[in-house]
Structure 1
Amino acid sequence: MSDNARPRVSRRRLLAGGAGLAVAAATGGGGYALGRGHGRAAPVEAPAPALHQFVTRPDLAVPVVDVTATGPTAPGLVFLTPAAGAGGRGPLLVDGAGQPVWFRQVTGPGVIAIDARVQRLAGEPVITWWEGTIDPEYGIGAGEFVIVDRSYQEIRRLRAPGPVPADQHDLILTPQDTAIFFAYEPVAADLSAMGGPADGALVDGVLYEVDIATGRVVLRWLARDHIALSESYAEPSGRIPYDYLHANSVEVDRDGSLLVSARHTWAIYKIDRASGAVRWRLGGKKSDFAIGPDAAFAWQHDARRRSDGTIGLFDNEAGITARASASRGLILAVDETRRTARLVRGLAHPDSLLAPSQGSLQELPRRGSLVGWGQQPRFTEYAADGTLVAAGALPADNGSYRAYKFEWSGTPTDHPAVTAVREGRVTVHASWNGATAVTRWRVRAGAQPDKLTLATTADRTGFETAVPINGSPTFVAVDALDRTGAVLGTSPVTTVPSPPV
C-alpha cells in the first residue's frame, strides 16, 4: 500500500485510545518519564538544598547540581535539562563545581525543555533543545525545537512539516544546514498478527530531514515501510495505539547513511539515506551481527558513532520489562564486513543504577565519556580507560533526559544584574546569566547616580557573587571584567537601601 493510500489516525483518536502510552511513559516503556515512579529504579538521596536562591535573580528557580571530581576531567560545561520536581524547568549549563552558568526557565502549564546541546548552524556554534508538553495522561509529546546563538537569542523554532508535532527524542543539525528529527505519526493498522485488533492503530516513527532556512522536506522516511511489527519486544494492548518501534536517536554516519536507535526493537539500524533501505540491524530479533558475550543490549537510547569507529549507546536494560538489575554506558567494536560486534567497555555507575527510561552516552575529548543516567538524576564522567573521574547529581525528584559536556562561550545581550543589601554594612550582589568570560566584578558606588567611583573589585565566585563594600553609598553599579580587565558589560545603577532609623 502506498503512503498516500494508508489511512491515518487523527491525533484526537490517538489520544482517545492512548492511555497505554501514558503507562509506558510513566513506567519507562515509552522512553520518557516525568516522575520517579518506576519500582525497579534504586532510590537516590536528594542534595540539600534542592534549589538555588539568588538575590539578583529571584525569578529563577534553579535546581542545585552537586558535582564531585576525583580525577582530571574534560574541559567544558555540563548541559542538562531539569524537567521534573520542584523548581524551574529548562536548559541549564553548570560548571565543573556544579555552579549555574546559564539557565533559561521555560514557562506555561506542563511545558518542559529537554536535550539541550551544542551544535553548529551555518558554521557557528548554537544551542538546540526541544520545548513543549508531554501529556501526563497519554505520554504523547507536542513541541518544537529551539535554536539560539552565542548571545542566547533565538535564531529559529523548528516544527514538523507533517500532521503531528515534532517528537522530543532527537535533533541533528547537519553541515548542509538541514535538521533531522522524528515525528510519531498515528496510522490505522491491522495488528492481528501481533495479537491485537485487525482494525487497530500503531504509532509510526517518521524521520524527517528538512532545510532549516526554507522548511523544504529533504527526506521523509517511514519506519513501517522498512521495519516489521514482528521485530518489536512491545506488545499491542487492546485499543491502545501500538508503539512498536519507539525510535529515540538518529546519527549521520561517516558514509552519510543514518544510524537510528529503536528502543522497542532493541536494535540499531543503518539506513541508506537515498533509498531508505535498511542496510543492517545491530541487535534485536533480526540482528545481522554476531554479538559477543556481554555486548547485547535492551531498551537502549542514544546510539552514536565514536571517533575511533566504535558505537556507543546507553544500555537501559529496562523498559516495559527488566532484563538486568543495572543500566550501563556501552561501547561496541562493530565490524561491518565480518558482521561481528564485541564489547569494548561497559561504563557502570558505582551505585549500580537502573534507569528504565532516558539516558545518554557522549564521547568527550581524548576518548573519555559522559554518561547521563536519564530517569535517575545522575551523570558520570569517565576517562578513556573507563576510570570514573567525576560524578554529578540533580535533586532526587528531578531528572535530565540526557547529559552532555561542551566547551561553550556565551555573551548575553542584556546587562549584568545587581542588587544591594544592607545588613550592618552594604553587600553588593552581582550576576550575569549566561556570561562565560567574567572573571571579576568591579563595584562602583557614590552619593549620586552619575558620579560613581571605584569601591572595590572581587573575583567571580559562582553564578552570583556577593561583594561587601565600605561606607554608606546611596547608589551602586557593577562592571563585569574578563581576565584582562576589559569591561564586558555594566549593570544599571541601583539604589542602596537606607540604613534603619
Structure 2
Amino acid sequence: MNGTGLCASTLNVTAPQWQEPSRCMVVNLRCSAENRLRNGGEAMSGFKGTAMILDAHQLLVRLAPWVAAAVLGGCGGGYSSSGPAQVNSTVSNLLSSVDAIGVGGAGLISNDPTHQFLALQANLKGGSAQLRFSCAGCNISVAAAGSTVGANQYVTIPFATLDSSSDATITVTDNVSGAIATYTLRARPVDHPPYTVGTNSNPEPGDLYLTPFDPQGFAAPYAYIVASDGSLKYYYRNRPGLEIHDFKKTIIPGGAIRYSFYDAADSAIRVMDAGFNLLTKVTALPFPDGNTYAVDLHDHVILDDGHYILGVYAAKTVSNIPALPGQSLFVSGAGLQEIQNGVAVFSWLSTDHPELYACSTSHNDFAANNGADYAHWNSVMVDADTNWIASFKYLDAVLKIRRSDGAVTWILGGPCDQFGLSATQKFSHQHHARRAADGRLTVFDDNNADGNSRALAFNLDEATKTLVTTNPALPGFAAFTSDAHASFNLGSAQLFADGKVLVGWGEFLGAASDVSEFDTASGALSFQLTLHPSAYSNGYFSYRAQKFQ
C-alpha cells in the first residue's frame, strides 16, 4: 500500500461509495497503517471477524457519509445532496428498474434507473453482460454496442478490457416524447481499488490472485485476478465491511476448474465453476464437542466437489489447561474440519491437545477468562502423505497433524520446536505454510520479533526431526527477501521451481509494494504490484498474493 509516515491524528472521511471522485472528495487521505497502530489498536491482530475493523474506527465508518456531506459541501459541487448523477427524469420515470446478467450471473450494484452510472458486481475481461431496462406499457428504444432493443429486452454489452476504455454508453429513448436518457455501464466500478505494476520483467507465468480490502472498513472489498501483463482480468465486489479473502483456483480430479474465496457476505466459502457461476457455499458442520462454529476466513482446501477442508475459531469453555488445574476458562481455540458429501469425516480442535497451551507466545492470558486466542491458526494444507500441515500464528509454529487420529506428529518453530531451530531460523507470527515443488516447507515470516519480514524455506527430515544438512542445493534453512518490508500481519510466500518466489507482504507500515516476485539467488525483482489509496479509502491491503495458471 502506498501510504505515508506523516499521519496526523485527524478524522479520516471518504465519500459515499456511489460518488464520483474529485479533488475535494476525501479529507486526510494520507493516513497509512501507522495511525491504526498509534491509535491504540493491535491492528488486525485478531483477524477473526469478518470486518476486521478497529473499534476506534467503527463509528467513523457509520458517520463517514454524513460527515463527508457536511465537509464536502464547500468543495464547489464535488458533492451533491441529491446523490448520484441522474439521467433525464422524463425517461427514468417511465422505468421500473434496470438489471443485468453478467459473468457468473452477476447483477448490477444498483438497479435504480435514475442513476446515470451503472456497474456490475463482477466482470470478466473478454466477457459480456446482458442489460435490460424494464417498464410497463412504455414505448422505449435501448441502443448500445451497435444494437437496439425495446423495453424489457436484454441488450448485450461486451467488455474487451476491464478499464475505462470498455465503458459502454447506453441510450434510452422515449419514443413518445422523444426524450433521451444516457447511461454508462462501467467495465469496473468507480470505487475499485487502484493499483500499479512496477517491475514486470519475465515474471513467473500465471495470473495473480488478490483480495484488496480496506482495514478501516470505508471501502468495498474486492477479489482480483491480475494477468501477467498487469491488466485486470476479473473482479468480484462486496459491500463495505463484507470482506473477501483467500481467493484461489483449484483443479479437481477430472480436470474441472473451481474458483473459491471466503465471502463475509455469507460467512462461507464461495465455490464457483470455470464460468464463475456459484456452485455452493461451504460452512462448518457440528464438531464432536457438540458445537457448530462459524467458518473462518484464513484458508480452505477443495479436494473435489463436495469435499473440503476448512477452519474455525472454537470459542468454548475448557478445564484442561495444565498450568491452571481445576479451573473452567473461556478460550478461543483453533479448529479444522474435513467435509465430504455433507458429512464431517474428520474434525480437529486445538483444545483437545492440552500440551499446546504452553506453546503459545501471545494472547495467552488464560486466567483472564475472556477468550484467549492462544493458537490462532491461519493456514492448512494436505501433505503428500495425506496428513495435514497447519500454521498457528500465536504458537509461532507450524504443526503436522496426523489425519487418522489427530495426533500432532511434529512442531516446527516456537517454544515447543522439535527441530532444534536456531534463533535466526525461528519465525514470528508467520502465515501461509506450504510445500514447494522441490519438497521444502515454505513459510511467510511476518517476523514481528524484529520487523524484517521474509520468506523462509525448510528442508525437513521428518523422521529424525532435524534440518537436512547433506544437500547444498536444498539446504535445511534458507531465508529470502528483496524490497524491505515490516509486515505486522497477513502475508504469503509461493516458491516456484525456477527459483523465483512470489511474496504477498500482507499488512505493513509505510509506502512499499504489496506484491514482490524475485529471484531467490540474486534478489533481482521480476514483478511488483502496489495497491494505492483512493477517493474511497486511506489504503488497501491484500491478505495473500498467489499465482495460478
TM-score under structure 2 length normalisation: 0.60
Query: How much does 1:223 deviate?
Result: 1.3
Q: 2:436 aligns with which of 306, 317, 323?
A: 306
Q: 2:504 aligns with which of 369, 372, 375?
A: 372
Query: How much does 1:285 deviate?
Result: 1.4
* Residue 185 to residue 219, structure 1, CA distance change in 2 (3 Å): same
Q: 1:329 aligns with which of 452, 455, 459?
A: 455
Contact 1:368 1:381 (C-alpha < 8 Å) held by counterparts = yes
Could you tell me which amino acid in structure 2 is paired with residue 401 of structure 1?
Y
Aligned to 1:26: 43
Aligned to 1:125: 257
Aligned to 1:381: 517
Contact 2:193 2:531 (C-alpha < 8 Å) held by counterparts = yes
Matched, 1:251 2:363: no
Q: For residues 294-443 of structure 1, what are the structure 2 equivalents within 5 Å?
A: 294-318=424-448, 323-341=449-467, 344-350=477-483, 352-376=484-508, 378-383=514-519, 385=521, 386-396=523-533, 397-407=539-549
Contact 2:397 2:414 (C-alpha < 8 Å) held by counterparts = yes
Q: Give CA deviations for 1:302-359 in whole Å, capped at 9, x if unaligned.
A: 11111211110110112xxxx1122111112212233223654322241x21111111
* Residue 338 to residue 176, structure 1, CA distance change in 2 (3 Å): farther
* Residue 198 to residue 335, structure 1, CA distance change in 2 (3 Å): same
Contact 1:292 1:343 (C-alpha < 8 Å) held by counterparts = no
Query: How much does 1:26 deviate?
Result: 2.6
Q: 2:317 aligns with which of 159, 183, 188?
A: 188
Q: For residues 39-54 of structure 1, what are the structure 2 equivalents within 5 Å?
A: none
| SS of 2:428 mapped into structure 1 | coil
Could you tell me which amino acid in structure 1 is paired with residue 545 of structure 2?
A
Q: Give CA deviations for 1:475-496 in whole Å, capped at 9, x if unaligned.
A: xxxxxxxxxxxxxxxxxxxxxx
Contact 2:220 2:241 (C-alpha < 8 Å) held by counterparts = no
* Residue 312 to residue 76, structure 1, CA distance change in 2 (3 Å): same
Query: How much does 1:37 deviate?
Result: 11
Could you tell me which amino acid in structure 2 is paired with residue 204 of structure 1?
G
Aligned to 2:141: none
Q: Give CA deviations for 1:30-82 in whole Å, capped at 9, x if unaligned.
A: 478846999xxxxxxxxxxxx97573343623212211235321112111001
Measured in 2, the distance between the counterparts of 1:272 and 1:173 equals 19
Deviates more, 1:174-183 or 1:260-269: 174-183
* Residue 55 to residue 87, structure 1, CA distance change in 2 (3 Å): farther
Measured in 1, the distance between the counterparts of 2:425 and 2:481 equals 14
Measured in 1, the distance between the counterparts of 2:48 and 2:485 equals 16
Measured in 1, the distance between the counterparts of 2:317 and 2:220 equals 39
Q: For residues 451-462 of structure 1, what are the structure 2 equivalents within 5 Å?
A: none
Contact 1:244 1:265 (C-alpha < 8 Å) held by counterparts = yes
Matched, 1:93 2:225: yes
Aligned to 1:278: 408
Measured in 1, the distance between the counterparts of 2:53 and 2:514 equals 14
Aligned to 1:65: 195
Query: How much does 1:121 deviate?
Result: 3.1
Query: How much does 1:191 deviate?
Result: 8.3
Q: CA RMSD in A?
A: 2.9
Query: How much does 1:197 deviate?
Result: 11
Aligned to 2:235: 103
Aligned to 1:217: 344
Query: How much does 1:190 deviate?
Result: 4.2
Query: How much does 1:128 deviate?
Result: 0.9
Query: How much does 1:199 deviate?
Result: 3.8
Aligned to 1:431: none
Aligned to 2:28: none
Deviates more, 1:111-120 or 1:340-349: 340-349
Q: Which runs of 5+ in 2 are unaligned?
A: 1-39, 57-161, 169-184, 287-291, 468-474, 534-538
Matched, 1:113 2:244: yes
Matched, 1:229 2:365: no
Query: How much does 1:363 deviate?
Result: 2.8
Measured in 1, the distance between the counterparts of 2:233 and 2:479 equals 31
Measured in 1, the distance between the counterparts of 2:282 and 2:48 equals 22
Contact 2:517 2:527 (C-alpha < 8 Å) held by counterparts = yes
| SS of 2:390 mapped into structure 1 | strand
Query: How much does 1:175 deviate?
Result: 5.3
Q: 1:76 aligns with which of 175, 184, 206?
A: 206
Deviates more, 1:288-297 or 1:277-286: 288-297
Matched residues, number: 357
Query: How much does 1:83 deviate?
Result: 1.4
Q: 2:276 aligns with which of 152, 175, 179?
A: 152
* Residue 176 to residue 307, structure 1, CA distance change in 2 (3 Å): farther
Q: Give CA deviations for 1:93-131 in whole Å, capped at 9, x if unaligned.
A: 112343211111123x52111111111234312211001
Could you tell me which amino acid in structure 2 is paired with residue 146 of structure 1?
R
* Residue 293 to residue 241, structure 1, CA distance change in 2 (3 Å): closer
Aligned to 2:420: 290
Contact 2:48 2:296 (C-alpha < 8 Å) held by counterparts = no
Measured in 2, the distance between the counterparts of 1:177 and 1:156 equals 9
The percent identity for this pair of structures is: 25
Contact 2:460 2:476 (C-alpha < 8 Å) held by counterparts = no
Measured in 1, the distance between the counterparts of 2:321 and 2:384 equals 39
Contact 2:388 2:401 (C-alpha < 8 Å) held by counterparts = yes
Measured in 1, the distance between the counterparts of 2:466 and 2:55 equals 37
Could you tell me which amino acid in structure 2 is paired with residue 159 of structure 1?
T
Measured in 2, the distance between the counterparts of 1:276 and 1:24 equals 35
Measured in 2, the distance between the counterparts of 1:180 and 1:330 equals 25
Measured in 1, the distance between the counterparts of 2:321 and 2:412 equals 27
Q: Give CA deviations for 1:266-307 in whole Å, capped at 9, x if unaligned.
A: 111111100111111111112111224632111111111112
Matched, 1:164 2:300: no
TM-score under structure 1 length normalisation: 0.65
Aligned to 1:173: 302
Measured in 2, the distance between the counterparts of 1:305 and 1:103 equals 28
Q: Give CA deviations for 1:245-273 in whole Å, capped at 9, x if unaligned.
A: 10111111111111011111111111110
Q: Which runs of 5+ in 1 are unaligned?
A: 1-22, 39-50, 134-141, 408-501
Could you tell me which amino acid in structure 2 is paired with residue 91 of structure 1?
A
Measured in 1, the distance between the counterparts of 2:477 and 2:407 equals 29
Could you tell me which amino acid in structure 2 is paired with residue 218 of structure 1?
V
